[in-house]
Every structure is written in structure tokens, then in C-alpha cells.
């Protein structure tokens, strides 16, 4: 079955066919590193991590570029507020981002360019746009893109020029600094006297810094060329960021920027998009204080990537209980190392689900069917298939006991083992009341004991 993905550009489900057979060039808009990443970021980045894994699983050689925006108004403001340099701020927040992403099982991208490393390339794109009559410098020194001069503007978002309203990060004050149209967006921002020196770059337009949109165009084209096979990000980036990327890139080069566009649905809190600007967000780090990273990843995979869904402790608790069922099957029957036979019915069903627009809920349903079969048959080969298919999603790779015992806040493993030894001693002394008391006490702490001929083991409740 051919991989089919929804293309935001055409609004249809399409066969995914890269320009070069067997190779995929993928660009995903990364993080603006001024603060800790929140769970909305986790949702988007987990989706594209699964895209990356699945493309490689089905045989593609993937070049995955995920940028870092390390120069931006918010970054400058935050550095000034904290009394540190921009470099210090972005280094700290990038390190925190990497730690958080590793905790939820994200593979590193092939390349992770930083915007400040590509300023010359950005200026080259701006010069091309100026030569084509699509960019102009206003009285305040900013260089802007003339939206109404680009015939294809609005094709990604489906918005007409008459209906468009400038979106996030787009100045809308007509006449401000001589901007020709409220929809025009900034390509190069003229430096302000009060801004730190490290936020100022030399250019033929005077000292300044790049606009947000031009950064991704320059990095993507420099590293991947045109057209990119797959460009992705959160739904909030569809307009204006991705719309503007298309306009300035195709306006400068006359060539298609990206053939296929993927966007993830919002992660909501009480049916409202989770975002830093709204203040209704939970950082990945905060949630990791209560839940392990694999549980968070599993929670994010239970909803189709294009669908919005609500964040809540109850939903994560349910995801943890579901993941425990899978690990319990693997704990009961040790997995045999297997190579996936895609003709095998369960593997074929899993493959078909993933090839159907990355339908992770349906793929997870196959894993639960396999776990039931493992519980019924005790088949080590089926357990091996369960683990191998889980690997394509980045789950089920821990030792089962490590997962089943881990992730409980405040749980002292050494104390649990000491209590188990005390219980064994009480049973040996035929003090069954004391043994029962210890079992009950551990259960209150969230520890379930399992007795067998080989001894006593434990899992989280």
C-alpha cells in the first residue's frame, strides 16, 4: 500500500511521491528559543518524529531539517528582562529543549540550523525579491514584502486578499514607517538604537536583523534545495508564516518551494488552543514531573495528528493505563527478536493504518490486538512483533519491568525492595498478618506485588 498523506496545499489526501525516488527532503519549523517548550510543541514535534521514523521504516532515506529560531523580538525582550546576553539565553533554552525532546523520545533531526548562521543567505533572498519588484524599503529602514504583487498569495491558507487579515507577528498599522499595505510583512527589520549590539547585523539596507518568515525560507532552500518534498509544522503556522514562506521563496526563485504540506491540529486546554501567548500552557518539563516521557508520547499518539484534542491529567492517566497493558503483555511473555514480516496479518494492518495519513490511533489498536494474542497464546514471536511495531512509533522499547516500576512520583525503589524482603521474612516466620500489612501498605503507596515460584516482583498500581 502506498503512503498517502493529506496535503494542506491541495486540501486532499494524496499519494506521497518524493522528487527523487527513495529519498525524502523534509523541513519542519522548529522552536523560537526564548522559553521552555510547552506540550503544544511536544505534540507537533512528536508527530513529525513519527513521520521521520515511518518514512525510514518503509525504506526512504530521509534528510530531516528542523531549524532553531535564535533571533526574534521575543528573544531580545526576554534577554533584556533577564539581564543576560541573547547568546546566553538561546544557549540555555536550546539545551533545555534538547533535554525535553529526548525525554519524550524524539530522534535528533539530520540537521538543526540556527537562524543566526544563515543571515547572508537571507539577505540574498531579499535582494532577489527586490530585483523582482516584490520587496521595498520603507522610510523607517525596514524592508517589506509587497503581498499584492505576488499573484499566488493565499493558496496555502485558502484566503483571498480581500478577506485576509494580517496574522500573528505581522504589523498591521498602515502607514507605519511608510509600509505600502497592511498585509505587507517584514523581511528585514531596521535596528533600533536601544537594542543590544548582538541583535544587529550589517546589510546593504543598514544594520538590522531578519524577519521571522525569511529565516525559514533561507535555511530550507540552503540545506534542501527546491522543491522540498515535505514541509510541516503546527496548524497555527499555516497562516501567516507558511503562506509568507511560499510567497517570498517562490517570488524570489520562480520555482515551487514545497510539494507537500503537513499541519498538526491544536493541543487544547478546555477546548482552547494551548499557547504561551494565551498563558494556558503547561511546559513539557512541568508535565514530566508527574509523568514519564514515554507515557506523554503515547498520550500524544492516541489522537490523529490533524485532529485537535484536549490536554488533561485524566487523559494522560488513561494513556498510562493503556500503555501499561502493552508492557504487561511483554512482561508476561519475553519478546523474541524478530524482523517484521509485513505480509503477516497484524503487521500488514499496522502498515496500512500508518500509510493511511499516519493513522496512529488505528496503528495502536493493532498493538492492543497483538497484546491480547500474546496474553492468550504466550507466543514469544508475537511478543517480538508487538515490540518491533512499537519501535516504529518510538514506544515499547524499555525493559517491561523498568516501565512498570518507573515513573511514580515520590516512589523510593530501595524502600520498596526492603519492604518486599521484610514481607518475605515475615512469611518465613509464618507471621502472615505482618506480611499482609506490608502488602497493604505498599498498595497504598501505589505498589502492586506479584508472587510467583521465582519470587516476588512489583509494578506501579
How many other C-beta atoms lie within 10 A of the C-beta of residue 36? 19
Residues in the chain: 461
**Could you say which DSSP state residue 195 is in?**
S
Ligand-binding annotation for 231, yes or no, is no
Biggest CA–CA distance in the chain, Å, is 91
Between CA 334 and CA 338 the distance in angstroms is 12
Alpha carbon distance 421, 83 (integer Å): 54
Is 241 annotated as ligand-binding?
Answer: yes
The answer to whether 221 is a known ligand-binding residue is: no
3-state secondary structure of 207: coil
How far is residue 251's CA from residue 294's CA, in Å, rounded to a whole number?
43
User: What is the Cα–Cα distance from 103 to 93, expressed in whole angstroms?
Assistant: 15
Phi (first) and psi of residue 65, to 5 degrees: -110, 125
* DSSP 8-state secondary structure symbol assigned to residue 153: T
Q: How far apart are CA 105 and CA 277, in angstroms?
A: 26
245 is in an annotated binding site: yes
Known binding residue 216? Answer is yes
- C-alpha–C-alpha distance, residues 342 and 279, integer Å: 45
Q: How far is CA 62 from the centre of its chain?
A: 17
- Pick out the residues of the known binding site for ATP: 276
- Pick out the residues of the known binding site for Zn(2+): 29, 216, 241, 245
- Pick out the residues of the known binding site: 29, 216, 241, 245, 276
Amino acid at each position: 500500500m502506498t503512503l498517502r498523506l493529506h496535503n494542506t496545499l491541495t486540501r486532499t489526501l494524496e499519494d506521497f511521491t518524493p522528487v527523487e525516488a527513495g529519498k525524502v527532503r523534509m523541513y519542519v519549523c522548529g522552536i523560537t528559543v526564548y522559553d521552555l517548550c510547552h506540550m503544544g510543541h511536544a505534540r507537533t514535534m512528536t508527530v513529525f518524529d513519527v513521520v521521520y521514523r515511518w518514512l525510514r521504516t518503509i525504506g526512504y532515506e530521509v534528510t530531516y531539517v528542523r531549524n532553531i529560531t535564535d533571533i526574534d523580538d521575543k528573544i531580545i525582550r526576554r534577554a533584556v528582562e533577564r539581564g543576560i546576553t541573547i547568546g546566553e539565553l538561546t544557549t540555555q533554552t536550546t539545551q533545555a529543549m534538547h533535554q525535553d525532546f529526548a525525554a519524550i523520545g524524539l530522534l535528533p533531526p539530520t540537521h538543526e540550523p540556527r537562524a543566526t548562521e544563515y543571515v547572508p543567505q537571507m539577505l540574498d533572498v531579499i535582494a532577489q525579491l527586490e530585483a523582482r519588484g516584490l520587496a521595498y524599503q520603507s522610510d523607517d529602514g525596514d524592508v517589506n514584502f509587497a503581498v499584492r504583487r505576488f499573484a499566488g498569495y493565499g493558496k496555502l491558507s485558502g484566503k483571498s486578499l480581500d478577506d485576509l487579515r494580517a496574522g500573528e507577528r505581522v504589523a498591521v498599522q498602515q502607514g507605519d514607517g511608510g509600509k505600502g499595505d497592511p498585509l505587507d510583512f517584514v523581511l528585514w527589520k531596521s535596528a533600533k538604537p536601544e537594542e543590544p549590539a548582538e541583535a544587529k547585523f550589517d546589510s546593504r539596507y543598514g544594520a538590522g536583523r531578519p524577519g521571522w518568515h525569511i529565516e525559514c525560507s533561507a535555511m530550507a532552500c540552503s540545506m534542501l534545495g527546491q522543491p522540498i518534498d515535505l514541509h510541516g509544522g503546527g496548524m497555527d503556522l499555516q497562516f501567516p508564516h507558511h503562506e509568507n514562506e511560499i510567497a517570498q521563496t517562490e517570488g524570489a526563485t520562480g520555482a515551487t518551494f514545497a510539494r507537500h504540506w503537513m499541519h498538526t491540529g491544536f493541543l487544547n486546554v478546555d477546548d482552547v488552543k494551548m499557547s504561551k501567548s494565551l498563558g494556558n500552557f503547561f511546559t513539557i518539563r512541568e508535565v514530566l514531573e508527574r509523568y514519564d516521557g514515554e507515557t506523554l508520547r503515547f498520550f500524544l499518539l492516541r489522537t490523529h495528528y490533524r485532529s485537535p484534542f484536549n490536554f488533561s491529567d485524566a487523559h494522560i492517566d488513561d494513556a498510562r493505563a493503556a500503555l501499561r497493558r502493552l508492557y504487561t503483555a511483554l512482561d508476561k511473555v519475553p519478546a523474541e527478536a524478530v524482523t517484521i514480516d509485513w505480509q503477516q496479518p497484524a503487521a500488514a494492518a499496522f502498515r496500512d493504518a500508518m500509510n493511511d495519513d499516519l493513522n496512529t490511533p488505528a496503528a495502536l489498536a493493532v498493538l492492543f490486538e497483538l497484546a491480547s494474542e500474546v496474553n492468550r497464546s504466550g507466543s514469544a514471536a508475537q511478543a517480538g512483533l508487538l515490540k518491533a511495531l512499537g519501535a516504529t512509533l518510538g514506544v515499547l522499547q524499555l525493559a517491561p519491568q523498568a516501565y512498570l516500576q518507573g515513573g511514580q512520583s515520590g516512589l523510593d525503589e530501595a524502600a520498596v525492595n526492603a519492604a518486599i524482603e521484610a514481607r518475605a521474612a515475615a512469611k518465613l516466620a509464618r507471621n502472615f498478618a505482618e506480611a499482609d500489612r506490608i502488602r497493604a501498605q505498599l498498595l497504598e503507596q501505589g505498589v502492586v506485588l506479584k508472587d510467583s515460584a521465582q519470587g516476588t516482583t512489583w509494578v506501579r498500581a
